[in-house]
């Protein structure tokens, strides 16, 4: 009787979602790793898991503020982080793998003209309906493949904050302070050296080259 009762309680727990976190959260999909397990020295400031982002709220798909990446990408970042350390610099990541549901949420946000709450902070000089057209948000994101990362050097000036949708965020934008230019150039050089390519509109966005088998995923981060 106790065995049967235990089975019934377990079934109820399963149906209600009350199973332990270790059961509910399977972790990264095959071929992916948690960046913290590979390079714990890299700071994780995962903006879309909280409210400090252009939508002004946590984004669907980010149940935990964790950076997940394809193993090859994480390994390459480990080398970048080591070389940055020699220069007295430390990496901070803002976004890594991005579930497809997050991109759909970005599209819904961009289509809601009534919601202009974050305009002053994130897109002060362009209209909201121009954000996709100018390439600041992609409808098919490299992030969903697990091969893209948004990053910077911790506590360093890059001329603009992360996710500022503005011409000044372009990697080669000329009218920035010398220190910001130095930091952009150093980040670019390190990332390119180790197999990444930059999105010209965004100094922080880099994708790892050569992973032709990468496919978009919609696995929730948690």
pLDDT (tens digit per residue) in 64-109? 999 999 999 999 999 999 999 999 999 999 999 999 999 999 999 9
In a domain, 51, yes or no: yes
Q: What percent of the chain has pLDDT over 70?
A: 89
Q: Which domain holds residue 102?
A: 26-208
pLDDT for residue 117 is more than 50 = yes
Among residues 52, 85, 197, 202, the one annotated as catalytic is: 202
Mean pLDDT value across the chain: 90
In a domain, 18, yes or no: no
In a domain, 13, yes or no: no
CATH number at residue 103: 3.30.1380.10
In a domain, 80, yes or no: yes
Residue 179 CB neighbours (<10 A): 12
In a domain, 30, yes or no: yes
| 130 given a catalytic annotation | no
6, 10, 131, 168 from 116: Cα distances, Å:
52, 46, 13, 21
Whole-angstrom Cα distance, residue 139 to residue 103? 7
In a domain, 188, yes or no: yes
Write down the pLDDT at residue 26. Answer: 73
In a domain, 139, yes or no: yes
Count of structural domains within the chain: 1
pLDDT for residue 110 is more than 70 = yes
Write down the pLDDT at residue 41. Answer: 96
């Amino acid at each position: 009787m106790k065995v049967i009762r235990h089975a019934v309680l377990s079934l109820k727990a399963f149906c209600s979602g009350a199973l332990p976190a270790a059961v509910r959260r399977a972790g990264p999909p095959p071929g992916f790793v948690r960046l913290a397990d590979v390079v714990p020295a890299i700071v994780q400031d995962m903006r879309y898991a909280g409210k400090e982002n252009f939508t002004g709220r946590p984004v669907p798909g980010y149940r935990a503020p964790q950076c997940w990446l394809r193993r090859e990408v994480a390994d390459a970042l480990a080398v970048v982080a080591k070389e940055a350390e020699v220069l007295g610099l430390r990496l901070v990541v803002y976004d890594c793998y991005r579930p497809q549901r997050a991109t759909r949420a970005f599209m819904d946000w961009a289509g809601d003209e009534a919601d202009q709450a974050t305009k002053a902070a994130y897109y002060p000089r362009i209209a909201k309906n121009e954000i996709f057209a100018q390439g600041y948000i992609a409808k098919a994101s490299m992030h969903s493949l697990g091969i893209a990362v948004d990053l910077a050097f911790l506590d360093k000036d890059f001329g603009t904050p992360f996710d500022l949708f503005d011409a000044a965020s372009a990697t080669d934008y000329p009218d920035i302070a010398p220190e910001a230019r130095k930091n952009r150039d150093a980040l670019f050089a390190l990332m390119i050296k180790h197999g990444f390519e930059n999105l010209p509109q965004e100094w922080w966005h880099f994708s790892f080259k050569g992973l032709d088998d990468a496919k978009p995923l919609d696995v929730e981060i948690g």
